[in-house]
Chain A
C-alpha cells in the first residue's frame, strides 16, 4: 500500500504528492475558467467533459451525496481510463463498505463526511484476495491468472 497520510481529521490519501491546497470548483466553472486545477464532479455531471483538460487537473473530487448513488464509480473509471494521473478523491457519504470498490475504480483519496474507523478500513481494503474484473486499479483479474 502507498503512503497513508492524514491531512485533516477525515482526509485519507494513498498518494505521495502534496494535496492540492485550493478548493475544487464545479464542472461548469472549471470549463469556463482556465486557471483552476481542482474540480468537483457531482453525480449528474458528465465526467467525459473533463477529458480534454486532464493535463491541467491535479485534483478531481467526486461527490457522493448519498452512498447508494453509484454514478461516481463510473466517473472515476472514465477519468482513469482516459489516463488521468492526478488525485481522485471520493467525498461525501463515503462509507467503509464502499471504499474497496472505490479503490478499484481508481479513487486514491477519501474525504468522507464521517471519519472512517482505521481498523475497519484496513480490513475492508485487504478483504479481497482476488478480483474478477479488470478495472482502474490494474489488479490482475482471475481470468488472467488462470491463463497466465
Chain B
C-alpha cells in the first residue's frame, strides 16, 4: 500500500499545526463559530447532537495493521472505546472533545493518517473498489489513480470553497462495487481498442434529496491527462454551480440543468486551455505510485482445497469470501453486522483483533467497504478456517455479506442533528426479525439501506429495499422504497406509498420479502423479480 515520503508527511504535519492554531484562535475568540466552522469541517470535525464527531480519512478504504491499532487506541483514549465505519470507507468517532481534536490529528499523523477534507465544501476522501488489487475480475488496481487524485485534491487552492461537497470514486472493473455512478465524479479505468489504459469520466451523480445517476461525459481520457481533465471538470463546476440554494448546489444539479452535452463542451474547452498550463504530474509520478500497489508475494502453489465439513464454516465461506486473482487465495469479509448490532460499529478490541488477523493472514492489509464491513483482501484458502475460528470467538463471524442482515444504516436520530428518525433501531429490528425467521438464507442477495432523513447518507435510493425516515407531525415515520441499485445495473428506488411507523416498517419489509419469495423465478434476486413484476404486486400486498 501507499507509504508517505517526506513530502506527504510534511503536509500532514503542517495540517496538524494549522488546525491547532485555528482551534486556539477559536478558543481565544479571534474566530467566530461561523468562521471556524468551515475550518473544522475541512478537518472532519462536526458538531452533532451530543458532542463533536471526528471523521478520519481512510483513502480508498485501505489501511494496515499499524493504522488500525492507532484507530483502536484513539477510540480508547479519546472516545468511548468504539468507532463507526462509514459508507465513504472512513471511520467516525462520535464522542470527541474539541480540546482533544489537535492531539488526535497528531496521533493520526504518526501513522500516516489524517482527517483532511473529510467534510466541508471541498473534494472529499476518494473512494474505490474494496476488492482492488485482489478481485479476479479487475482490469488493473484502481488505487494508484485514486492516490494520484488524492494528492492533487489535497489542499487544492482553487477548489477548497466549492458550492458543495465533492465526492470522487475510482474503479477498474465492470462490476461496480463502489457506487461509482452515484458520485460527483465516477472514474472507471478502461482499456481502449489500441490496448492503452485510460479513464472514463462519469459526472453528476449523487444521492441526497435529488438522486441522479451520472452520465458518461468522456469515454477515454489518457492516463497522462487525468489530473488535467479532473481540474477542468471542477473549474466548470466552480464557475457555474449554484450558490443561492445549498440543496441545488451539487454538480448533479448543474449537469442536469445545463445538460450533459453543454457541460461536457465547456469542460472540453477548459481542458484544451489547461493542457498548456503544465498542471499534470509527469507519468513517472504515476509509475512511482504504482510501485506501492504491486502484488504481495503470493504463494506459487497455494492449495485450492478447502474442508467444508463444518456447515457453519462452509456457510461463512460461501457468503463472506470473494474470488481472488491468485489461485489458492480469496478476499474474506469480516461482517460488522451482527444480528441486532449497530451496522458498521467496531469496538477497539475488535479493531485490534482485525489488525492482528490482517497481519497474520492478509499481508498486513485491510479495506473498509462502503457497506461498512472490513475486508482482508488476500487470504490463503488454507488459512481460512483458522481466520474464521478467531472471528467467531470475537463475535465477528456473521455469515451475512450481501444478505438482508447486511444493512447499511446512517447514524440517524441517535447521533445526527439533521435526522428525522432513528435508523439504527430499525436496522437492529430487521436483522433480528429475519435471523429469527430463518428467511435470510432463502432471500439470498438483498441489499437493504436506511437513511434517517432525505440527505440519504444511508443510500436508501440505491437499496434493493430502501427505508427513509421522515417526520410526520412530530412522529418518526418511515417510507419504503424498492428497486434501487448502486452497482453496474444502477437504478434509483421508488417509494411504495404511504409510510409506516417503526413496528410497521419492519412488517412492511417482511411483506415485500414474502412477495419476492412467492413470485421469484429460478435464479432471480429480489431486485430482478421486482424489475420483472413491477411495483403493483408489492403495493397490493402492502396496502391492498
Contact = CB atoms under 8 A, between A and B. Distances in A.
Nearest to B35: A95
Interface string A71-97: 101100100010000000000000101
B144 to A, nearest CB: 13
A112 to B, nearest CB: 12
B151 A147 contact: no
A129 B243 contact: no
A134 B277 contact: yes
Contact of A141 (B14, B22, B243, B281): B281
Interface string B239-273: 10001000000000000000000000000000001
B7 A68 contact: no
Nearest to A103: B157
Contact of B243 (A43, A100, A135): A43
A16 interface: no
B110 interface: no
B91 to A, nearest CB: 24
Nearest to B287: A147
Interface stretch (A5-13, A24-32, A52-60, A120-128): A120-128
B288 A104 contact: no
Contacts of A130: 7, 10-11
A147 B238 contact: no
A3 to B, nearest CB: 23
B157 A104 contact: yes
Nearest to B273: A81
A142 B7 contact: yes
B18 interface: yes
Interface residues of B, number: 41
Contact of A131 (B35, B121, B155, B235): B155
A69 B155 contact: no
B218 interface: no
Contact of B282 (A81, A98, A102, A143): A143
Given A81-B273, A143-B285, A101 B14 contact: no
B162 A70 contact: yes
B17 A127 contact: yes
Contact of B151 (A71, A74, A105, A143): A143
A132 B11 contact: yes
B293 interface: no
B103 interface: no
Interface in B155-199: 155-162
Interface in B66-80: none
A113 to B, nearest CB: 12
Interface residues on A, range: 35 or more
Nearest to A66: B243
A146 B157 contact: no
Contacts of B10: 129-130
A25 to B, nearest CB: 22
Contacts of A142: 7-8, 11, 151
Contact of B38 (A68, A71, A81, A135): A68
Nearest to A69: B243
A146 B285 CA distance: 8
Contacts of A132: 11, 151-152, 154-156
A104 B8 CA distance: 19
Contact of B157 (A67, A101, A145): A101
B285 A147 contact: yes
Interface in B119-166: 121, 151-152, 154-162
A66 to B, nearest CB: 9
Contact of B161 (A46, A69, A81, A141): A69
* B22, B38, B161 interface centre (most CB from chain A within 10 Å): B161
A77 B14 CA distance: 24
B278 interface: yes
A81 B274 CA distance: 9
Nearest to A93: B35
A73 B5 CA distance: 29
Given A132-B151, A141-B281, A97 B22 contact: yes
B288 A146 contact: yes
Contacts of B152: 132-133
A130 B276 CA distance: 23
18 contacts: A70-B158, A71-B243, A74-B239, A77-B235, A81-B273, A95-B35, A97-B39, A101-B157, A105-B157, A128-B155, A130-B7, A132-B11, A133-B157, A134-B277, A142-B7, A147-B282, A147-B284, A147-B288
Closest 3 CB pairs of A and B: A70-B161, A104-B157, A143-B281
Given A120-B30, A132-B11, A141-B281, 18 more contacts: A67-B161, A68-B161, A70-B238, A71-B239, A73-B157, A73-B159, A98-B161, A101-B158, A102-B157, A123-B21, A127-B17, A128-B11, A130-B11, A131-B155, A132-B151, A134-B277, A142-B151, A143-B281
Interface of A: 43, 46, 67-71, 73-74, 77, 81, 95, 97-98, 100-102, 104-105, 117, 120, 123, 127-135, 141-147
Interface of B: 5, 7-8, 10-11, 14, 17-18, 21-22, 25, 30-31, 35, 38-39, 121, 151-152, 154-162, 235, 238-239, 243, 273, 277-279, 281-282, 284-285, 288
